[in-house]
Amino acid sequence: MNILAVIPARGGSKGIPRKNVRFLAGNPLISYAIKNALKSEFSVDVCVSTDDFEIERVAIKYGAEVVNRTEELSSDEITLDPVIYDAFTKMSKQKNKEYDYVITLQATSPLLTVEILDNAIKECIENNFDTIISTVNQPHLHWVQSKEGEFTPGYKERLNRQYLPKRYVETGAFLITKAEWMKPTSRIGKNVSVFEVPESQSIDIDTPADWWIAEKQLTKKNILIRVDGYSGIGLGHVYRGLALAYNLIDHNVQFVLSEKSDLGIEKIKNSHFPFTIIKSNKEIGKLISSQKIDIIINDILNTTEDYVTYLKKLNVRVINFEDLGDGADSADIVINDLYAPQRNGDHYFWGSDYYIIRDEFLLSESSVFNEVVKNVLVIFGGADPSNLTLKVFNAIQSNFDYKNIQFNFIVGPGYPHYNELKNLAKKSSLNINVIRDVKVMTEYMRNADIALSSQGRTMLELASMGVPTILLAQNQRELKHEFGYLNNGFINLGLGEYIEEETVKDTLEWLIKSEQVRQQMHDQMKLKDLKNGLKRVLQIILN
């Protein structure tokens, strides 16, 4: 098969000056069409029809031949038919070839891939079509205006878009035709078909807005977020991964979780992001290769040197969260928002400046300080492996005489003692609500005058809401979290499993009575900027 690709490119673009040679995502616009044609699995001669010296120079640099267009064929009014025919006849003579097919390839469709182009050529040849035109399926409710000016519906019945009949709109990316149908006034034969191009490749750059969209598409990253979420560690890592994913809308994001992450799998499934469940790290390697991953984000606590070295050999950018393991030194970036600096290295980012707060906390107003405590919130994370919830419950039962206080105990979906706690609350003389798997946490935090919590990410959420908080750490790792101390508005009792119920009771009673201390704790929390961490983290990830 002798195939000619003609790329028409005038120099007089008015909507976007110098459009064809202007750099788009690091390359001249016209170079994308040239490279597609030259990379084709078919033997394709590639020429650019132009009236412009700068376009000619760029075309030659990228490997295309140039057909100089006459002034007559370079006006705004001229259609493409005579331009393509002119290039076809000149190249036929120059190459001394009889071409079988001529492809009109538009420089204004830089998102088109060579795979799609080759599939269209194959379909045209194998089905003996005279002409095949690139289209995109855009089913919409639309109206048609008659010559008399009347509007009538262009559909039979009003349906949701996914149920409407297909409606093919030309993308302008390519038009493939048998050479025998090439004429000065037409490039279309009798047996015509359309080739559906994916919507992501269908843009035809005509305006600055089109240019912006194309550049966004070309600079998209493929990002893999690895998280774990099960009863032992809760869902904090999953929530952080989702917060990142929702704000990486300019990129292709998917998740990977281990088999044991039952809580995490359910949460990601409900988010509608694509995800994969793996049994071993080797499966991640296959995923990275098959999906052409650019960045992997690990939010799985400590990593090993072997694991990170394995990832680095796959030529991906490795970004780890909350990692104090041996693999952290070899990662490209490590963000430890809960810890004070513990290691040296320019790739480490420590402390609450990098805390990623969930969207609902960005939207919610902070709590208002009340002189009299009316509402106490108890929240120890999704699983509460040390059952600190029950310890606090027992503490407030003994000699606690604050009958006018509402106690809200919030437990997560992984908390195994929910029914037991619910039954105990019914028998209590205090006003106690036990709530599981809360959807809007800020409503409870905003109304709380005091909170009791673990020393994980929840304490930062409480700080953002300005709620004076008593902390009991779930484990030794939480004790290393740098934020949960008096200078940030917290009373830290230490490792929860070693704290006596009497100590919890006495501390809470004292804080309820200490209006001035609560006011100071509230004010200290308000001094912290916890709402811009996401911006800082996204900049680190993408730069």
Which band of pLDDT confidence, cut at 50, 70 and 90, is reported for residue 377? Answer: very high
Mean pLDDT of 95-106: 97
Q: What is the pLDDT of residues 341-375, one digit of tens each?
A: 888 999 999 999 999 998 889 889 889 999 999 99
- Whether 238 shows a pLDDT value over 90: the answer reads yes
- Reported as a pLDDT band with limits 50, 70 and 90, residue 133 is very high
- Confidence (pLDDT) at 163: 82
Comparison of pLDDT for 528 and 276, the residue scoring more: 276
> Per DSSP, what are the bridge partners of residue 473?
495
Residue 382: pLDDT over 80:
no
Helical H runs in 220-331? 236-246, 262-271, 281-290, 305-312
Token pair, residue 24, equals 């788009």
The answer, yes or no, to whether residue 32 has pLDDT greater than 80, is: yes
pLDDT of res. 528: 86
Beta strands at 317-321 and 333-336: parallel, antiparallel or unpaired:
parallel
- The sign of the dihedral angle between the CA atoms of 58, 64, 66, 71 is negative
pLDDT mean over 111-123: 97
- The whole-number pLDDT of residue 399 equals 66
The DSSP secondary-structure symbol of 185 reads T
The whole-chain average pLDDT of the chain stands at: 93
pLDDT tops 90 at residue 398: no
Give the per-residue pLDDT at 438: 87
Q: What is the pTM of this model?
A: 0.79
Q: What is the pLDDT of residues 298-344, one digit of tens each?
A: 999 999 999 999 999 999 999 999 999 999 999 999 999 988 888 89
The sign one gets for the Cα dihedral 413, 414, 417, 421 is negative
Report the pLDDT value the prediction gives residue 437, as an integer from 0 to 100.
Answer: 78
